[in-house]
Amino acid sequence: MQHLAEDPLPLRKAKITLEAALKRAEKARAPFEAATKVAEAARQVAEAARHEAEAARREAESARQVAEAARQEAAAAREQAEAARRQAESARQAAEAARRAAEESRRAAEAQRQAAEEALDEAGRKVEEAEAYLAEVKAKPGKCHGAIWWMEKELEEQKKYLPSSKGGVAKRG
């Protein structure tokens, strides 16, 4: 009965004190729990912002690399265009030089053709003079038949080398 004889008041008092302490602790802990929840939410927001910033950095790096590649391609294209322009310029100069050379060649050929025609006309006049002289010598008395025959043969031989349009004769065997 010892245990019944004990005063239950200290136990009850301790329970009440414990419950009061728990309530005070709960009240004191409530603002810290709210602050913890706010801090946790802020941490999550900061973590999400960090992930977004990382993604943006990677995207910016990728864009920079693409821009660098495009710049290099543009530089290469510019170099190719410059080389093509230089090549076209040299081809134009070569064509101009070839045109001038062809013009000079045409003038020279024209001059040679003119000189050849003049030489042919001169040869035709000389042949006519020779034929006239031969006819004059034949008409004179006391002619030398061997010399005349020889001159006629030489004259006929030279006519073989003239074109038929200029008084030449066809060659016979």
Residues 165 and 120: beta-carbon distance below 8 Å: no
Supply the pLDDT for residue 1.
Answer: 44
Residue bearing tokens 């973590």:
47
Taking 70 as the pLDDT cut, the residues of the chain under it are 1-8, 143, 166-168, 171-173
Instruction: Kindly report whether the global pTM for this prediction surpasses the value 0.75.
Output: no
C-alpha to C-alpha distance for 12 and 20, rounded to whole angstroms: 12
Quote the pLDDT of residue 150: 83
Confidence (pLDDT) at 5: 57
Please, which residues have CB within 8 angstroms of residue 168's CB and are 6 or more apart in sequence?
Answer: 159, 160, 161, 162
- Rounded CA-CA distance 13/57 in Å is 64
pLDDT for the residue numbered 106 = 95
Our CA angle for 130, 135, 138, nearest 5°, is 125
| H or E segment to which residue 105 belongs | helix 9-139
- In angstroms, the CA 46 to CA 25 distance is 31
Could you give the CA distance from residue 33 to residue 5 in angstroms, rounded to a whole number?
45
Cα dist from 20 to 7, 9, 13, 25, 27, whole Å? 21, 16, 10, 8, 10
pLDDT at residue 43, as a whole number? 94
Q: In this structure, what is the dihedral angle of CA atoms 157, 158, 162, 168, given to the nearest 10 degrees?
A: -50
Which pLDDT does position 8 carry in this prediction?
66
Q: What is the pLDDT of residue 29?
A: 83
What is the rounded radius of gyration, in angstroms, for the C-alpha atoms of the chain?
A: 63
Total residues found in the chain within this entry:
173
